[in-house]
Amino acid sequence: MSDHHSFSAFDRHAVLGGSDNGFPWYAGAMLAVEASEVVRLRCEKLSRGDEAAEQEAVLMMSEKIAAAFDAFASLLAGATPATVVQRYRDHVAANAKRLSAD
C-alpha cells in the first residue's frame, strides 16, 4: 500500500497558483486561523463575567445566526463559496478589531 497521494494538474494549479476555482481552500484555512483569534479574544472577555461579557454573549449569538442566514441566502442567490468565505472573513476581521480595542 502506497502513501503516495495523487493530485491532478488542476489541484496543483489551484494550490500553487492560489486559484479559488471551486472552494477557496487558502481563504478557508485563513478564515479558520483568523476565527481562532476571535474565539480567544471572546473567551477572555466572557471570562470576566461582567455586564460587557453578557452583552458580548448576546451579540455573538445574534451575529452567528445572522451570518448563517446571510451565507445561506447568498448561496441560494448564486454567490460563489469564495464570496461567502470572504464575507465571513470580513466579519471576523471586524470582530477582531472591535475585541482588540476593549
Question: What's the pLDDT score for residue 102?
Answer: 76
Give tens-digit pLDDT for 5-54: 454 455 455 555 555 556 788 999 999 999 999 999 999 999 999 999 99
pTM of the model: 0.74
Q: Does position 3 have pLDDT exceeding 70, yes or no?
A: no
DSSP secondary structure letters along the chain: --------HHHHHHHHHT--SSS-HHHHHHHHHHHHHHHHHHHHHHHT-SHHHHHHHHHHHHHHHHHHHHHHHHHHTT--HHHHHHHHHHHHHHHHHHHHH-
Q: What angle do CA 80, 85, 88 make, to 5 degrees?
A: 135
